Amino acid sequence: MPPRTPLTRERILRAAVELADREGATALSMRKLAKAVGVEAMSLYNHVANKDDLLDGIVDLVVAEIYVPRPGGDWRAELSRRATSAHEVLLTHRWATALIGSRVNVGPAMLRYVEATLGCLVTAGFTYEQADRAWNAIDSHIYGFTLQAINFPLEPTEFASAAARFLPLIPPETHPHMHALSTQVINGTHSGTADFTFGLDLLLDGLDRLLQQK
């Protein structure tokens, strides 16, 4: 009989991430998690204090997957890579964005991530106040765009047919601009899909102008 894999905090947290990926964070329970790692639920409490500790731990594991920007180089390229990485990671772990936005996260990965982000901005010449606001503005774009992508009820392949279905509700006489845009989606002139980098570039352009004013 092969030896049993030791129960550790990391093993528990990684199993919790896998469970949340399959069923969502709201379905995560100590009972389900214990079954996933093959132990009694009470054994988990030797490694995680409670449900809050578990949620903080799995959030930090997800944050650890995001690219950490390097201060001292091309700040714009580093923050662009950070934002794109965060968006991709959060699309993989679809439950994580809501948790990150609703909890105070002070795990080691999150602290490293934030420290590097602030360092990248301050080293580039932004004040601490500007860096704080810039970081939050970029993260608001990441989290908002990601949540919309996760929750939007249509797939991009359905946009044209949906636009055709709703077109009678927006006649050109009363809604000329919405009608024109919907027509472009129907005929394929415009895909209708949102563009993550479009909003990100607007933010970075604005920050660049702010920096040049110094």
pLDDT at 103 exceeding the cut of 60? yes
pLDDT at 107 exceeding the cut of 50? yes
- The residues near 214 (Cβ < 8 Å, ≥ 6 apart) are 125
Radius of gyration of the chain measured on its C-alpha atoms: 22
Domains assigned to the chain: 9-48 (1.10.10.60), 63-212 (1.10.357.10)
Task: State how far the Cα of 28 lies from the Cα of 174, in Å rounded to an integer.
Answer: 48
Summarize the confidence of residues 112-133 as an average pLDDT.
Answer: 97
Task: State how far the Cα of 1 lies from the Cα of 89, in Å rounded to an integer.
Answer: 38
Residue 3: the pLDDT is 52
Residue 1: the pLDDT is 41
Task: State how far the Cα of 84 lies from the Cα of 87, in Å rounded to an integer.
Answer: 5
* 92 φψ region: left (φ > 0), alpha (ψ -120 to 50), beta (else): alpha
Categorize the per-residue pLDDT at 182 as very low, low, confident or very high, splitting at 50, 70 and 90: very high
